[in-house]
């Protein structure tokens, strides 16, 4: 997952959210936003930020395991990656990241 962190940048993240919010579904978008807010929280450890960067980089990359163009299946792998990241760094996710 660490290799995907190079695909993350703030502008690409927000562009992906804006462009695909309706297609990707509420659960995926909420999870991506929760991870983003955890990422920018100064209390989040560097280790957790590395996991988040990798998962958000994977989310941004349009040509991942299942390309996003294959709607609706194209976002299932993204959701799985974001869910695994959230599970892995769960103790760093605060209520304010999720709401």
Compute CA distances 92 → 37, 55, 77, 88, whole Å: 11, 15, 23, 9
**CB of 26 closer than 8 Å to CB of 85:** no
CA angle 36, 85, 52 (to 5 degrees): 40
97/99 Cα distance (integer angstroms): 6
For residue 2, pLDDT over 70 is answered with no
**CB of 32 closer than 8 Å to CB of 17:** yes
Which pTM does this prediction carry?
A: 0.88
Q: What is the pLDDT of residue 7?
A: 83
Q: Total domain count for the chain? A: 1
Query: 21-78: per-residue pLDDT in tens?
Result: 888 889 999 999 999 999 999 999 999 999 999 999 999 987 777 776 677 777 888 9
Domain span at 60: 2-98
């Amino acid at each position: 997952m660490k290799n995907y962190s190079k695909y993350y940048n703030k502008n690409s993240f927000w562009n992906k959210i804006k462009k695909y919010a309706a297609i990707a579904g509420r659960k995926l978008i909420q999870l991506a936003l929760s991870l983003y807010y955890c990422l920018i929280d100064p209390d989040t450890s560097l280790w957790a930020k590395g996991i988040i960067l990798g998962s958000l980089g994977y989310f941004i990359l349009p040509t991942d395991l299942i390309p996003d163009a294959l709607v609706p299946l194209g976002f299932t792998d993204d959701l799985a990656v974001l869910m695994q990241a959230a599970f892995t760094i769960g103790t760093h996710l605060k209520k304010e990241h999720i709401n």
